[in-house]
Structure 1
Amino acid sequence: MAVTDTPTAPARRLSGLIGRLRATLAGSNEASLTNRLAGTIFIIRVISAGLAYVAQILLARWMGGSDYGVYVYVWTWVLLLGSMMDFGISASAQKIIPEYRASGDDARLRGFLSGSRWMTFIVAALISILLAALVRVLSPWIDPATVLPLYIGCLTLPAFVVANTQDGIARSHDWMRLGLMPQFIVRQSLIIGFTAGAFVLGFHLSAAIAMLASVAAVWIAMIGQMIVLNRKLGTSVAAGPKVHDFRAWLAVSLPILLVESFYLLLSYTDVLVLQQFRPSDEVGVYFAVVKTLALVSFIHYAMSATTAHRFTEYHAAGDKERLAAYVAHAIKWTFWPSLAATLLLLALGKPMLWLFGPQFVTGYSIMFIAAIGLVVRSAIGPVERLLNMLGHQHACAAAYALAFGMNVALCFAFVPRYGGHGAAAATSISLAFETVLLFWIVRRKLGLHVLAFGKKRA
């Protein structure tokens, strides 16, 4: 009797799943390209998260809870202000550049590629000087331990802003590694290297020393990115006259800046309010929780960064069916991976927090509260980019403004009594509220059912 090997049902299902995944990632259509680019971004952000996680663990152990809390507070201000001081150019580049290319307006395209960076650098430098003067004026009312780190933070902002602008330009050309690696891998590696060097040399690793390391890392990474970006642009964009249409750029960018500003305020309000009412070491614990959950938000970021300029291309071409299918694809590939990542992080959360130090394990219960908002928000995918690219920035900004207002009110209500648990609850409730508003806006204005499950058209 002959015996033949036949695959079992589980083996067949696994083989089929692998085949479908390979076809999805290796195909030549827009969905496959998007998945590959988003996968590239996600991998970069995961590596970056690993480096940032190592950096935060080392800093927390080398600096102690109080100095680490001060550093986190100042670095949060740098991230918040630096992300808003580019006028929204980093996001609007994914709308402006595809439109110039589609219309063949090479003069304005060349003008934008150079002029946008000069504009953001000059304005960021002027604002940084004013902020330093403001710190000087307010120094009698500021915690003395934060004054010098705040001055150093001001030095970071011009380079931080130019790096964001270059990131937007690179992503608009599908140069994802060039856009993201300098900020998220090179910069993090330099911060680790500089702070480790200071520690080995016997310096007391204060918040000021850590900020000096961060300043050097931001400037070096930005300059290196600029050199490579200029070379690639020189080979892909023909030389010729430049038209600097600053007014048109700002007309597109400022409404997007309004959206991005409210989003960033919503993202950082919890840490900033927590610093006002709770000790610095408690701020450090909360920040460790946020860093641990960062993998979930990276998935949303990866899909947003990949899809924004394609939303513009399909809308400009008038291809509504293609746009609708692309939006549905982006939402699906945002929600389900986010849900899986959340469950994994919650399962491993306690040992991951322990790496920061034994006292950081007290923040484990906060993770469950904070995770709710991230999962709910991922259920509608990158629809804020969809609204921005299709000209509905004001409606999107209104939704973010309402969510931000709710977050501020809830933080001030919850944080003094409940600390980090209150901050996480305030943020999760606000994110859920924002998700409902965005879902309703897209359904009403675009007729799309932007949810990871349910019917696809309204």
Structure 2
Amino acid sequence: MEARSASPLAGLKARLRAMFGGGDDASLTNRLAGTIFIIRVISAALAYLSQVLLARWMGGSDYGIYVYVWTWVLLLGSLLDCGIAVAAQKIIPEYRAAGADALLRGFLSGSRWATLAASAAMALALAGLVRLLSPWIDPPTMVPLYIGCLTLPAFVVANTQDGIARSHDWMRLALMPQFIIRQSLIIGFTAGAVVLGFQLGAVAAMVASCAAVWIAMAGQLIALNRRLKAVVEPGPKAYEFRAWLKTSLPIMMVEGFYLLLSYIDVLVLQHYRSAEEVGVYFAVIKTLALVSFIHYAMSAVTAHRFSEYHTSGDKARLAAYVSHAIKWTFWPSLAATVVLLAMGKPLLWLFGPQFVAGYDIMFIAAIGLVVRAAIGPVERLLNMLGQQNLCALAYALAFAMNLVLCIALVPRFGGHGAAAATSLALTFETALLFWITRQRLGLHVLAFGKRG
């Protein structure tokens, strides 16, 4: 009896060991993606905790100002690296494969100095714009906006270092500073202020957040430089700023349209419907965020390997790796979606009893996420293989479709219309990316179906 019961357990252990414990690229990818997924889940929990605590400590008005400014920091900070963070996962493997050590050394340092200079200049310009628009800005928002501008350079450099670390498979070094350490510092600094008896307003919260961003970035900088010294020989440096921008700017457009595609449903809903309905919809989207984390994890792990295999001309290995990445995006995403939909009502109830009204919206929103997962991290594949312009065009068309559908559906159907518009746009984007990859690269990028 014990032997029979142990046999299935032994078989499960063997399968898990094969999936995660091997030395091949597939097993390494699974381990790294699992690490990233765990980090993102812990980060989401910390972010949720920090928002709850800040809302309780600050009060509605100051908390609203803080969220407004911090959202701008997140949006602009994700764009002001000009796509260099993602482009690093293409440029670094190409330099390594070509033996271009001087260019590699130049990129590892020059990319960070360039993004620091560009983001600092933009932060100064934005501070000037805030000053120019001060007659039309609510006075309590002015100082937090200035602090937000001060935060941007460190935020952007941290993103660039994230891309460099990912290109070397140093996923904990890439993500821990931004997603775990930064969040923990924000909680620690604001909690310390409250314990010491200070009034925690929007200004104090932004100061704490700014300090957390700079400290986390500086620690990551020291650790990254130390690890790079062990793998990159010292020597002369060469710089190809124009070539870097030629690669990165279309990628920046992809990331920009992705952000717009992610936020436009909430923004349009906020324009046409009540704050309560926006809150319910936002709770639905946050509840389904776990599905997106799987796609994010696989994208973060695979990008530089796509570039590496393409540069080496190993088409068979590239095709096999793409297939593996797609399967490990789609099937876990599908499983997570089923679990979240099954537990949807109690999960939404955690936000408050009134949020359960959004349960049926979950099913509409989940369709787009599952459809999109069926082609895996194909946008990273296109970006790494020189098709970033077409990828940007696909995202732009999907964003335009989402905007038009939201304007058409949200006034009448509210959150249901926003979810339907986004799912339709994601389905259109998926079909377009599938077709582009098939035509330009000759690869079948679907989790199922014929591969020939």
TM-score (norm 2): 0.92
Corresponding residue of 1:138: 133
Change (3 A) 1:373 1:149: farther
Question: Would you say the 8 A contact 1:72–1:287 is kept in 2?
Answer: no
Corresponding residue of 1:335: 330
SS of 1:242's equivalent? coil
- Per-residue deviation, 1:421: 4.0
Q: Which amino acid aligns with 1:7?
A: R
- Per-residue deviation, 1:207: 4.1
- Per-residue deviation, 1:155: 2.0
- Per-residue deviation, 1:63: 4.4
Q: Which amino acid aligns with 1:330?
A: A
Equivalents in 1 of 2:416, 2:201: separation in Å? 28
Q: What is the CA deviation profile of residues 177-213 of structure 1, one whole-angstrom value per residue up to 9, with x for unaligned ones? A: 1001000100111122223233444555444443333
Question: Would you say the 8 A contact 2:36–2:172 is kept in 1?
Answer: yes
Kindly report which structure 2 residues correspond to 1:27-46, keeping only aligned pairs within 5 A, or say none. Answer: 27-46=22-41
Equivalents in 2 of 1:208, 1:369: separation in Å? 39
Kindly report which structure 2 residues correspond to 1:35-434, keeping only aligned pairs within 5 A, or say none. Answer: 35-63=30-58, 67-142=62-137, 146-203=141-198, 205-277=200-272, 283-357=278-352, 360-434=355-429
Change (3 A) 1:444 1:27: same
Q: State the identity as a percent.
A: 76
Question: Would you say the 8 A contact 1:262–1:397 is kept in 2?
Answer: yes
Q: What is the CA deviation profile of residues 106-140 of structure 1, one whole-angstrom value per residue up to 9, with x for unaligned ones? A: 11111111110010011101111222222333344
Equivalents in 2 of 1:197, 1:370: separation in Å? 39
- Per-residue deviation, 1:357: 4.8
Question: Would you say the 8 A contact 1:380–1:451 is kept in 2?
Answer: yes
Change (3 A) 1:252 1:330: same
Corresponding residue of 1:443: 438
Q: What are structure 2's unaligned runs of at least 5 residues?
A: none
- Per-residue deviation, 1:17: 3.6
Change (3 A) 1:38 1:74: same
SS of 2:447's equivalent? coil
SS of 1:85's equivalent? coil
Question: Would you say the 8 A contact 1:370–1:428 is kept in 2?
Answer: yes
Q: Which amino acid aligns with 2:342?
A: A
SS of 1:28's equivalent? coil
Change (3 A) 1:345 1:5: closer
- Per-residue deviation, 1:401: 0.4
Corresponding residue of 1:7: 4
Question: Would you say the 8 A contact 1:82–1:161 is kept in 2?
Answer: yes
Corresponding residue of 2:447: 452
Bigger shift: residues 430-439 or 70-79: 70-79
Equivalents in 2 of 1:389, 1:450: separation in Å? 15
CA RMSD of the aligned region, Å? Answer: 2.5
TM-score (norm 1): 0.91
Q: What are structure 1's unaligned runs of at least 5 residues?
A: none
Bigger shift: residues 270-279 or 333-342: 270-279
Q: What is the CA deviation profile of residues 242-297 of structure 1, one whole-angstrom value per residue up to 9, with x for unaligned ones? A: 11221111111112212222112212223344454556665555444333322211
Equivalents in 2 of 1:256, 1:313: separation in Å? 18
Equivalents in 1 of 2:355, 2:193: separation in Å? 24
Bigger shift: residues 212-221 or 408-417: 408-417
Question: Would you say the 8 A contact 2:97–2:312 is kept in 1?
Answer: no
Change (3 A) 1:191 1:360: farther
Question: Would you say the 8 A contact 1:328–1:456 is kept in 2?
Answer: no
- Per-residue deviation, 1:344: 2.2
Change (3 A) 1:191 1:428: farther
Bigger shift: residues 220-229 or 440-449: 440-449
Equivalents in 2 of 1:287, 1:223: separation in Å? 33
Equivalents in 2 of 1:104, 1:340: separation in Å? 42
Change (3 A) 1:37 1:110: same
Change (3 A) 1:70 1:289: farther
Equivalents in 2 of 1:143, 1:416: separation in Å? 29
Bigger shift: residues 278-287 or 190-199: 278-287
Equivalents in 2 of 1:361, 1:59: separation in Å? 24
- Per-residue deviation, 1:393: 0.8
Equivalents in 1 of 2:146, 2:191: separation in Å? 22
Question: Would you say the 8 A contact 1:73–1:275 is kept in 2?
Answer: no
Aligned length: 452
